[in-house]
Structure 1
Amino acid sequence: MRMPEVAVPGSKSITARALFLAAAADGVTTLLRPLRSDDTEGFADGLTRLGYRVGRTPDTWQVDGRPQGPAAAEADVYCRDGATTARFLPTLAAAGHGTYRFDASPQMRRRPLLPLTRALRDLGVDLRHEEQEGHHPLTVRAAGVEGGEVTLDAGQSSQYLTALLLLGPLTREGLRITVTDLVSVPYVEITIAMMRAFGVEVRREGDTFVVPPGGYRATTYSVEPDASTASYFFAAAAVTGGEVTVPGLGEGALQGDLGFVEVLRRMGARVTVGRDATTVRGTGELRGLTVNMRDISDTMPTLAAIAPFASGPVRIEDVANTRVKECDRLDACAENLRRLGADVATGPDWIEIRPGAPLVGGTDIKSYGDHRIVMSFAVTGLRVPGISFDDPGCVRKTFPGFHEEFGALRARLGTA
C-alpha cells in the first residue's frame, strides 16, 4: 500500500542550535523552515527578552546577531518546558554583561542542570541557583567568559556539552572541554557540524573538545525535518504494512535519530535511505530484538509503543538518560504498556516488552505532559481501537499539528 509523502516539521534540536548560533554571530542570519512549536517559540521569545532582534514569518526567521552578548543589561527569561532554552540561554547570556534571571515550568524545574552550571562556575561565571541547587530558577551575573580548560560530565545529557561548545567561540581564549562521560553522541555531532556552517571548526583530541575563540559569522541556514518526529510515521508504516516517505531526511542528514529506521529494518521493515528522502515499508513482519538505544534515546518510546506487535521480545538497553527527560520515560512507557495489557519488565536503564495477549482497546494513555509519550502511543492506536490521551495537547512542544497530520496518515493507511 503506497501513501503520499509526510511533511515532518523542522528539527527542534537544529532550530534551537541555529537560534543560539544566529544570536551569537556577527551579522544577520536567516533560518529557513525552522520548527514553530512551543519549545522553539519559547527560545525565540527568550532571545527577544535578552535584547536580540528576532523577525519571524511562517517559513523564515531572521536574527540580528550580537557577538558581544545580550543587548539588555538585565532581563527575566521564562524558559517554558524547553530543555534547550533552559540550558543554552543562560550559557549565551554568560558571554555578555548584565544580570539575567531564568526560570522555567514546574516540569523543567525538575530537570537537572548541575553539571553545566558547575562547569560555568569553574569558568568563572557568577551563577546562582535561587532555590534548589542544580535546578531552575537561576541568576547569571555576566561579565564575559575568559575561557580556558574545563571538565564536564555529560552522562545525563549531551546538551551540557553542546551548550559549552556553542559558548567556546564567544570566550576570550577559547575552550578545552574534557568530557568524563557522554550520552547521545550524535547530538554533539549535530552541534559541531552546525558550528562549522557558522564558521567555527571544533577539534577533538580523545575525550577533549578544543573550541577556538574568534566568534561566528552570520549565514543563511536551512533546518532539516525532525528525525525524532519522523520516527512515529516510520513506525506507523512498519506496524500497518503501509509505506511512508519523509522528504528532506536522507543520506546527508545531521540527526542521529534517523538511525531509528535501521532498528525497523532489523525488525523486518523495508527501508530505503535516498539522497534526500527516506522510505519505510511494512512487510507484515515485526521481529523481536535487543537494541542499544543510548545514542537515539528520544526514539525509545516509539519502539516501546510498537514492541507488543513484534513476534518476539523487544529489549531496549542503555537508556538511563530517558529517566530525566520531560518525564521518566522508561516508567511512563512501562505503565502505559501495562494498562494496555502488555507484559513488561524494566530495570535502571532498560525495558523489555514480551509478546502476549492482544492489547486492550479503549485505554486512556497517561501522557505525563510528555509530547513523545503521546506521539508514540498514537502509533499503538493504529492497531488498538479506542486509545485516548489525558493530555493530547502537550504535542505543542514539538509538533502542534501532530494529531491532524497523524489522523490524515491513519485515513491513508486505511486504519481509521
Structure 2
Amino acid sequence: MTEAANWVAPRPAEAVTGRVTIPGSKSISNRALILAAVADGPSTLTGLLAARDTALMRSALTSMGVGITETDGRVLVTPGSLKGPAAVDTGLAGTVMRFVPPVAALADGVISFDGDLYARERPMDVILDSLRQLGAGIDDGGTGRMPFTVSGTGSLRGGVVHLDASSSSQFVSALLLAGARYEQGVDIRHDGKPVPSQAHLDMSIAMIRERGVHVDTDEPNRWVVSPGPIAARDTAIEPDLSNAAPFLAAAAITGGSVTVTGWPEQTTQPGDQLRDIFAQFGANVSLDANGLTVTGTGRLNGVDLDLSAVGELTPVVAAVAALATGPSYLRGVAHLRFHETDRLAALETEINNLGGDVKQLADGLEIRPKALHSGVFATYDDHRMAQAGAVIGLVLNGLEVENIGTTAKTMPEFPDVWSQLVTGGARV
C-alpha cells in the first residue's frame, strides 16, 4: 500500500481572520460515555465528539454489553450487564487504555486489551497494579504494558489503593469514574510527585458529583469515592477548547483575528487557560456572546509558562514560542515524555530540524528565537504534533507535515477547517 503524501501546510497571504466552530470535547465525551455506561439508567449525550478516540471508547463499551445508539446527533447510552469475552482496541487513546480497565473489572468474563504499536510502549503498570490491589484479576505477562487481560466475576471488592500518579492524572480519574460501582467504593491514596493535569482531575470529580456520587477530597493526595449508584444524566458536550489552540494561534502569529464560537463562560476544561496564554504572548483576548476572540498585535512576546495543568497544549504553545521575539520557557510538563509520543523530544527534534533552537529541560522546554526554514515536520502519529506543524507552516513556504490524518484522533475535519481559515476565513 502506498503511503499518503505529506500534507503541505497552507501559508496565508494576509492576516488570518475568521470564525471557527470546534467539535465536542474529547475529554468530556469519553468521561460522559464511561459514566453513562455504568449509570443506573439510560443517558442521552448531545454534541458528542465524532473522532477516533470516541469511536474507540464506544466500541470498547459496546463490546462488553453496553447499548449505544445514535439518532440525529443524539447518542443514547443504555447500561447493560457487563460481560466477556471481549476484545478492546485502545488505539493510541489514553482515555480508553486507562479508563476502560476499571470498568472491565466489573464485567463477568475476560476482557483483553491491545492497541496501536506505540500504545504498547506506554506504561500501564500504575492502573494495572491498582486494580490488582482492588481485587481484579490482571494478566500482563509481567510487563506493565499492553497487551493484557482483565478477568472479572461481575463485581469488584474495591477499597484502599496506593499508587503513584505523578506521570498522569488519568490513573486517578480512571478509578474515580468507576469507583462508586465497587462494593467498598474506592479510597485512592497518591504517594509521589504532584499529580499533573489537575484541571482534568477536577473535571472528572465535577462530572462524578453531578451524577450524585459522593467524593471526599478534603485530604491532599487522597480521593475517597463512596459506593452507590451513579445517576443517569443527559449531557450536552462542550466544544473541545484544546482543539481551539491552533486556530487562535493563527490570529496571534499573523496579526489577524479569530473567534472560536460557543466558548463557555465557565468550564472545567483546562483549555480555557488559552485565554491567559495568548494574552501573555501579547495578543488581545476577549470573551463575549459571540465566543472567544484572539487578535494579534503584530508582536509575539517570549513567555515563561507553567503548563503542568494543560500539558496537552504544549505542542501548539511551543510552535508559537518558536516564532516569538524572545526566549520562552515551558515548565511542569515532564509527564509529556509518556504521552502519545515523547512530546518533549519530538518538539525539540522537529523544530530544530527546521533551524530552531529548542532544548529540553528536566521538566519542559527552553525555546529561543531563531530564523526557521521549510522542511518536513514529523508527527509521530500524534495529533498535537500535527497541529504544531500546521502552526509553524503559517510562516514557512511549503512546510510538509507528515500524516496530517492523525488529527482524526480528536478532530477529523482539522485539515479542511484549517485550510479554509488560513486561505480565506472559516465559518463552519
TM bin, normalised by shorter chain, reads over 0.9
Following the alignment from structure 1 to structure 2, what is the Cα–Cα distance between the partners of residues 308 and 256? Answer: 22
Q: Does 1:47 align with 2:79?
A: no
**Alignment counterpart, residue 257 of structure 1, candidates 236, 261, 271:** 271
Q: Does 1:238 align with 2:249?
A: no
Q: Does 1:213 align with 2:248?
A: no
Q: Does 1:129 align with 2:126?
A: no
Instruction: Return the offset for 1:413.
Output: 5.7
**Alignment counterpart, residue 248 of structure 1, candidates 244, 262, 285:** 262
Amino acid paired to 1:295 = A
Amino acid paired to 1:410 = V
TM-score normalised by the chain length of structure 2: 0.92
CA contact (8 A) 1:80 1:108 kept: yes
Counterpart position of 2:93: 82
Q: Does 1:199 align with 2:212?
A: yes
Instruction: Return the offset for 1:2.
Output: 8.1
Instruction: Return the offset for 1:224.
Output: 0.7
TM-score normalised by the chain length of structure 1: 0.94
Counterpart position of 1:381: 393
Q: Does 1:338 align with 2:349?
A: no
Q: Does 1:104 align with 2:115?
A: yes
**Alignment counterpart, residue 155 of structure 1, candidates 144, 150, 166:** 166
CA contact (8 A) 1:234 1:261 kept: no
Q: Does 1:311 align with 2:329?
A: no
Residues 342 and 413 of structure 1: CA distance in aligned 2, closer, same or farther (over 3 Å): farther
Following the alignment from structure 1 to structure 2, what is the Cα–Cα distance between the partners of residues 73 and 373? Answer: 36
Amino acid paired to 1:402 = F
Q: Does 1:34 align with 2:45?
A: no
Instruction: Return the offset for 1:120.
Output: 0.9
Amino acid paired to 2:210 = A
CA RMSD, 1 decimal:
1.7
* Greater mean alpha carbon deviation, residues 170-179 or residues 276-285: 276-285
Counterpart position of 1:9: 23
Following the alignment from structure 2 to structure 1, what is the Cα–Cα distance between the partners of residues 356 and 91? Answer: 34
Following the alignment from structure 2 to structure 1, what is the Cα–Cα distance between the partners of residues 71 and 385? Answer: 30
Q: Partner of 1:77: helix, strand, or coil? A: strand
Following the alignment from structure 1 to structure 2, what is the Cα–Cα distance between the partners of residues 171 and 337? Answer: 47
Counterpart position of 1:23: 37
Counterpart position of 1:302: 316
Instruction: Return the offset for 1:277.
Output: 2.6
Q: Partner of 2:163: helix, strand, or coil? A: strand
Instruction: Return the offset for 1:275.
Output: 6.4
Instruction: Return the offset for 1:58.
Output: 5.8
**Alignment counterpart, residue 402 of structure 2, candidates 383, 386, 390:** 390
Counterpart position of 2:284: 270
Q: Partner of 2:173: helix, strand, or coil? A: helix
Following the alignment from structure 1 to structure 2, what is the Cα–Cα distance between the partners of residues 404 and 413? Answer: 12
CA contact (8 A) 1:33 1:59 kept: yes
Instruction: Return the offset for 1:276.
Output: 7.5
- Write out per-residue CA displacement over residues 64-119 of structure 1, whole angstroms, 9 at most, x where no aligned residue: 024xx51x332122222211111111110102322111111111111111111111
Following the alignment from structure 2 to structure 1, what is the Cα–Cα distance between the partners of residues 417 and 227? Answer: 44
CA contact (8 A) 1:242 1:282 kept: yes
Identify unmatched segments of 5+ residues in structure 2: 1-14
Amino acid paired to 1:380 = I
CA contact (8 A) 1:250 1:274 kept: no
Q: Partner of 1:205: helix, strand, or coil? A: coil
Identity of aligned residues (%): 36
- Write out per-residue CA displacement over residues 365-406 of structure 1, whole angstroms, 9 at most, x where no aligned residue: 111111110111201111111111221211111111100000
Counterpart position of 2:413: 401
* Greater mean alpha carbon deviation, residues 341-350 or residues 399-408: 341-350
Following the alignment from structure 1 to structure 2, what is the Cα–Cα distance between the partners of residues 303 and 155? Answer: 22
Instruction: Return the offset for 1:257.
Output: 2.0
Counterpart position of 1:167: 178
Alignment length (residue pairs):
408
Q: Partner of 1:209: helix, strand, or coil? A: strand
Q: Partner of 1:287: helix, strand, or coil? A: coil
Identify unmatched segments of 5+ residues in structure 1: none
Following the alignment from structure 2 to structure 1, what is the Cα–Cα distance between the partners of residues 53 and 16? Answer: 33
Instruction: Return the offset for 1:348.
Output: 2.9
Following the alignment from structure 2 to structure 1, what is the Cα–Cα distance between the partners of residues 173 and 290? Answer: 26
CA contact (8 A) 2:35 2:178 kept: no
Q: Partner of 2:248: helix, strand, or coil? A: helix
* Greater mean alpha carbon deviation, residues 365-374 or residues 81-90: 81-90
**Alignment counterpart, residue 59 of structure 1, candidates 63, 66, 73:** 73
CA contact (8 A) 2:46 2:235 kept: yes
Q: Partner of 2:160: helix, strand, or coil? A: strand
Following the alignment from structure 1 to structure 2, what is the Cα–Cα distance between the partners of residues 193 and 202? Answer: 9
CA contact (8 A) 2:386 2:404 kept: yes
- Write out per-residue CA displacement over residues 14-61 of structure 1, whole angstroms, 9 at most, x where no aligned residue: 111011001001111111011111111011011111111111246221
- Write out per-residue CA displacement over residues 121-175 of structure 1, whole angstroms, 9 at most, x where no aligned residue: 1111111104x52111111111211222112211111110000001211011211
CA contact (8 A) 2:16 2:255 kept: no
* Greater mean alpha carbon deviation, residues 339-348 or residues 226-235: 339-348
Following the alignment from structure 2 to structure 1, what is the Cα–Cα distance between the partners of residues 323 and 16? Answer: 21
CA contact (8 A) 1:250 1:273 kept: no
